[in-house]
Structure 1
Amino acid sequence: MRKFSLFLFLSTILFLTFTISCKKFKDKAGVTPLEKIIEKKEMTFDSSFVSIFFKKHPLLDKYQDEVKMLYQKHQFHYIWYDKNGVNEFGNLLHNKIINIEEEGVLTSIPYRQKLDSIYESASNGKTPNPTTELLNTSMYFYYVDKVYQGLDTESTNQMEWFLPREKQSYSKYLDSLLVNPSLLKKNDKELFYQYYLLKNVLKTYRQIEKNGGWPTIQMDSAIKSLNVGDSSRTIAQLRTRLHLTGELKSDSKSAIYDEELAKAVLKFKETNRNASSTIILPSHLKVLNVPVSERIKTLIVNMERCRWISKDITKAKEIIAVNIPAYQLTYFKDGKPSFQSNVVVGKTINKTVIFSAPMRYIVFSPYWNVPQSIIKNEIIPAIKKDPNYLAKHNMEWNDGKVRQRPGPKNSLGLIKFLFPNSNSIYLHDTPSKHLFSRRDRAFSHGCIRVEKPKELAELLLKDDPKWTPEKIEEAMNKGVESWYTLKNKIPVYIGYFTAWVDVNGNMHFYEDVYERDQPLADLLFEKRE
């Protein structure tokens, strides 16, 4: 009995000593070294589970290499669990995945039922489980692949899109999300800013669709056009339509064309590249009658294109962007549009290429070195008909090629802007100024004609005191070609967006001049797992 009492006494002393020592060495979070060892041991899993998981979940196999690398980095610790079970980030990610259509992604979510069961049952997700862990990680890569990355480069090249794409490390992004899960709620900086503007419009248009869309506006058969002061049932229909998409603040149901409606009509025309006039023609109603489902498809297609643009593009000190369907050039200074010009782009048989290159030179009073294709298909046949064709067009042979001498009738006008590229595309002036008044401006052989080339040159040379507006004008009209090398190379981006939200929040839809939307839509709508 005495031995047992002595043993009990010594055991008590050891227990108290150990407890006091543990308390003494607790860290700031209140966790003892012993608890950390136990936690570390319990919160890891065997590496062999990775290959087992992907054999059972082949629809996620494309992410296997990334998942392996991630867990090798984390020494196969669980990253989706805390002391209460699956952590906050897991719940946020699940919510994002089940609402992935809000991101303009049309897909059947793989293993949706299994994923839902983790988060919709109080008992599931409490105890660390390697299958749950690896499913969460794989679905994270699935989500960022669909939402942030989009179609792969091979697919975008097939869409004739050759703008450079940014390589992202989504494993590093995951590390930051694990530290601060709320970043997933505020992920409006992970993609090109236009994406988020289109996403907001998509939400509005889907609600309109849910409410029944918009009815077709019928033009009275006896009326060819409508203007302020006219009365017609068409006016009441038009009023309802413009109220739905926000051009008109309220719908009075009135059939009389008043000034309030006229302002809404002008706003609509501005965002659809129509002449600034209050007259309503059948062609305008045709645009308004495009079903909301088609507009939604256009928004989704252009959200996908936004995934192919670097999110840091607007951080450049200055860039020049051309949107082909808008027939518009925009010069951005410090991320803000400071200049715009109408442009003429390539015909459908001579499409302007979608790519990027740095502008390096401005050429004043340029020669036009005629491309071999034009010499073969246009000039030689013209010479056969008229031996004086070259002289009449101020052209000459030069080392076996044809070039047009500088002057006001030169096809490049008085100035051109060079960003050397394999597509032989550049910006230039033109003597055919009348083309800029056309609504549709796809007339060139591929290069981009600028309506305001002198103003663009003045902006690009603004910080060079040697180049005053007068000096620029003189060089343009000198009749002798001269080159200027820009001190700072300016990125030029030639893109293709048929839907665009401007700086004032107005939604613009442009005609699909090269018919690129439908092939992309087919690919996106078929990308269901």
Structure 2
Amino acid sequence: MLRRLLAVVCLLPAIAVASISDYIAQNLNDELPAETLQLPRFSEHYSHLVSFYEFRDYQPIWYIDGQPTEQAKALFEVLKQAHYNGLRPADYFVDTIDMIASEHTFGELSKSRAELLLSLGFLQYAADVKVGRTSPTAHHQGFPEVVEADDPGHLLQRISDGADPVAILAEAEPPSLLYQRLKQAMIHIVDKRLAGEPWQTIAEGKTLHPGDAIAESLYQAIADRVVELVPAAEPMNYAGSYDPALVANIKRFQFLNGLGQDGIIGKRTYQALNKDWSMREQQMIATMERLRWLPRKIVDTRYILVNVPSFTMYGIEADSQGQQHMTFSSDVIVGKSYRRYRTPLFVADMTYMVFNPYWNVPNSILRREYIPHVDEPGFFEQHNFQLVKHFSKTAEVFPPTPENIAALKRGEFLLRQSNGPHNALGEAKFIFPNANNVYLHGTPAKSLFAKERRDFSHGCIRVGDVPGLANWVLNPEGWDEQAINQEFDEDAAKVVPLKTAITVGIIYLTAVVDDDDHLIVHDDIYGHDARLLKELGMTAEQIMQPAVERALY
């Protein structure tokens, strides 16, 4: 398609006095080539382009009286800065438009080409920034395609009616708090990358503990990098050792890179120090793409986001002015990095919670982990397991006799764990029905929350602050803290249906911006970023392309 716009016009028959409309009609009515530009929804955009211009007798919308409109100039500036939204300017033809506009013979033919490319770039950008360049279902089967692109013909008609293309494209951006924060951080990161000197690798030396002797060259290299990456870093002066000032800055750096804040410069801290601007930009690109997959309606309600690679969850709600705020957060434990145990990504609605729940042991865990041990003396007593025929609070409990254990092995019984402090689900579980049978719950293994990396579960999400989450969920339902604590103190399980469902998004964001506007990056623990970036064509080499500087004229 693009090649046709650039090349087929060279074959046009001579026209005595051809107008820009003549050239637009000629370009649009020519046969499509065998190979078209491989961009999502490109053919759809082209068909709408044909219909739109045909309806208006091929009159241009970006070039009036031979000159680019203010709308065209403003649009071109946005397309040039597509990287601020984690997109690639080249996908919106800015290089080609710039080349055409700079030709010595910029006549009606060239203007017709620029006209069509501006329209295509506008439509492509509007779709990409709203719904993303990839399908969520292609990466995560439980993540539905819930966001729809705007009608291309309607968008072009709005331009024809005088609307501001910058405002239209801003409306298309995801409205979520995390996305808008990330966009502001991306502006800073991209500008740093474009203006910065080549990144000098810091040689990985021995592990450094506070107070260790350190060479001046290494001290200065680390200090310079910290000044670059840590906002408001403390002043540092070399005095022969890994001193308190550098230690304090390294701890802050470790926090901003999702590392344990021990001040020790080991392998992972060296690796983080060598993560350059383009690598951080890649993480932000992948994160912004995934945030486009969240349903738009989510920001109209109170909602929960569980961020797998940061081992964190957030409760987010809007104030009376519609501004979103994080009003709850907690550390979480997620699924192991082995494929079968990874926490799946999806969106569902929380409809109820259960105080003091039983744990109904999934059959997969029963077969892999418990069946080999059920004959061991004291197994049932040690783990507080029960044999039942069905999972309900009225289920009859059968004794673990040899005959019943044999029946369990044959699949004639189910295994559940009685409720109480020993229970694997802790003091509560929060249910958002889904095909993955994943939910939020507590845990008696509180010590695991002190770990830097917390991927220990079979896929469900263990919550560090269960009382805090219960209060966040139930307070708007009319529950106060005293009533909630009373339920925690009871022995019996209690199901509490929610009057208003709460949307829960299990997401995968390796770059987030906190309440202090600091960018925090995390490890790609499941390898999801690497696969997504490859599909997006956003490798480090592909990001490092020169920016178009000229304005449209």
Give the TM interval when normalised to the shorter protein: 0.7 to 0.9
Deviation at 1:414, TM superposition (A): 1.5
Aligned equivalent of 2:386, options 386, 391, 396: 396
Q: What do residues 240-294 of structure 1 show as CA deviations (whole Å, max 9, x unaligned)?
A: 1111124355865534655543442232122223344445445423321334443
Aligned equivalent of 2:187, options 172, 175, 200: 200
Deviation at 1:365, TM superposition (A): 1.3
Bigger shift: residues 355-364 or 250-259: 250-259
Alignment match, 1:372? 363
Alignment match, 1:213? 199
Aligned equivalent of 2:471, options 458, 461, 469: 458
Q: 1:130 and 1:391 mapped to 2: Cα distance?
A: 80
Alignment match, 2:443? 430
Q: 2:227 and 2:24 mapped to 1: Cα distance?
A: 60
Aligned equivalent of 1:265, options 247, 250, 271: 250
Q: 2:489 and 2:168 mapped to 1: Cα distance?
A: 56
Q: 2:266 and 2:116 mapped to 1: Cα distance?
A: 59
Please tell me the residue identity of whatever aligns with 1:351.
R
**What RMSD, in angstroms, separates the aligned Cα atoms of the two structures?**
3.4
Q: 2:167 and 2:44 mapped to 1: Cα distance?
A: 23
Q: 2:502 and 2:96 mapped to 1: Cα distance?
A: 50
Q: Which structure has the bigger radius of gyration? A: 1
Q: 1:378 and 1:252 mapped to 2: Cα distance?
A: 53
Deviation at 1:378, TM superposition (A): 1.5
Alignment match, 2:209? 225
What is the DSSP-based 3-state SS (H/G/I as helix, E as strand, rest coil) of the residue aligned with 2:238? coil
Q: 1:107 and 1:128 mapped to 2: Cα distance?
A: 20
Aligned equivalent of 1:441, options 439, 454, 468: 454
* 1:157 and 2:138 correspond: yes
Deviation at 1:62, TM superposition (A): 5.0
Q: 2:327 and 2:297 mapped to 1: Cα distance?
A: 18
Alignment match, 1:345? 334
What is the DSSP-based 3-state SS (H/G/I as helix, E as strand, rest coil) of the residue aligned with 1:503? coil
* 1:363 and 2:354 correspond: yes
Q: 1:56 and 1:124 mapped to 2: Cα distance?
A: 28
Deviation at 1:235, TM superposition (A): 2.7
Bigger shift: residues 178-187 or 515-524: 178-187
Bigger shift: residues 191-200 or 434-443: 191-200
Alignment match, 1:25? none
Alignment match, 1:181? 164
Deviation at 1:404, TM superposition (A): 1.3
Seen in structure 2, the aligned counterparts of structure 1 residues 237 and 226 have a Cα distance that, compared at 3 Å, is: farther
Q: 1:137 and 1:70 mapped to 2: Cα distance?
A: 10
Aligned equivalent of 2:291, options 284, 300, 306: 306
Q: 2:110 and 2:279 mapped to 1: Cα distance?
A: 46
Aligned equivalent of 2:52, options 60, 64, 70: 70
Bigger shift: residues 170-179 or 502-511: 170-179
Q: 2:95 and 2:464 mapped to 1: Cα distance?
A: 57
Q: 2:517 and 2:171 mapped to 1: Cα distance?
A: 16
Q: 1:188 and 1:358 mapped to 2: Cα distance?
A: 26
**Is contact 2:62–2:118 with CA below 8 Å preserved after alignment?**
yes
Alignment match, 1:417? 430
Please tell me the residue identity of whatever aligns with 1:190.
E
Alignment match, 1:166? 147
**Is contact 1:395–1:405 with CA below 8 Å preserved after alignment?**
yes
Q: 1:66 and 1:491 mapped to 2: Cα distance?
A: 35
Deviation at 1:434, TM superposition (A): 0.9
Bigger shift: residues 111-120 or 80-89: 111-120
**Is contact 2:332–2:449 with CA below 8 Å preserved after alignment?**
yes
Alignment match, 2:15? none
Paired positions, count: 480
**Is contact 1:54–1:64 with CA below 8 Å preserved after alignment?**
no
Gaps of at least 5 residues in structure 2 are 1-18, 319-323, 390-412, 543-553
Please tell me the residue identity of whatever aligns with 1:338.
T
Q: 1:98 and 1:71 mapped to 2: Cα distance?
A: 25
Q: 1:276 and 1:525 mapped to 2: Cα distance?
A: 34
Seen in structure 2, the aligned counterparts of structure 1 residues 456 and 203 have a Cα distance that, compared at 3 Å, is: same
Seen in structure 2, the aligned counterparts of structure 1 residues 69 and 198 have a Cα distance that, compared at 3 Å, is: farther
Deviation at 1:423, TM superposition (A): 0.7
Deviation at 1:517, TM superposition (A): 1.6
**Is contact 1:225–1:282 with CA below 8 Å preserved after alignment?**
no
What is the DSSP-based 3-state SS (H/G/I as helix, E as strand, rest coil) of the residue aligned with 1:284? helix
What is the DSSP-based 3-state SS (H/G/I as helix, E as strand, rest coil) of the residue aligned with 2:504? strand
Deviation at 1:212, TM superposition (A): 1.7
Alignment match, 1:324? 308
What is the DSSP-based 3-state SS (H/G/I as helix, E as strand, rest coil) of the residue aligned with 1:461? helix
Seen in structure 2, the aligned counterparts of structure 1 residues 495 and 123 have a Cα distance that, compared at 3 Å, is: same
Paired-residue identity, %:
26
Q: What do residues 416-442 of structure 1 show as CA deviations (whole Å, max 9, x unaligned)?
A: 101111110110011111111111111
What is the DSSP-based 3-state SS (H/G/I as helix, E as strand, rest coil) of the residue aligned with 1:345? strand
Q: What TM-score, normalized by structure 1, do the two folds share?
A: 0.80
Seen in structure 2, the aligned counterparts of structure 1 residues 245 and 381 have a Cα distance that, compared at 3 Å, is: same
Deviation at 1:415, TM superposition (A): 0.6
Seen in structure 2, the aligned counterparts of structure 1 residues 114 and 226 have a Cα distance that, compared at 3 Å, is: closer
* 1:52 and 2:39 correspond: no
Q: What do residues 467-516 of structure 1 show as CA deviations (whole Å, max 9, x unaligned)?
A: 33232223223221111111111111110011112121111111111111
Alignment match, 1:247? 231
Q: 1:280 and 1:181 mapped to 2: Cα distance?
A: 51
Q: 1:130 and 1:327 mapped to 2: Cα distance?
A: 52
Bigger shift: residues 336-345 or 186-195: 186-195
Please tell me the residue identity of whatever aligns with 1:167.
E
Q: 1:241 and 1:188 mapped to 2: Cα distance?
A: 37
* 1:490 and 2:475 correspond: no
Aligned equivalent of 1:85, options 50, 67, 71: 67
Q: What do residues 82-112 of structure 1 show as CA deviations (whole Å, max 9, x unaligned)?
A: 2343322223333444554454435755877
Aligned equivalent of 2:528, options 513, 516, 523: 516
Alignment match, 1:36? none
Q: 1:369 and 1:146 mapped to 2: Cα distance?
A: 43
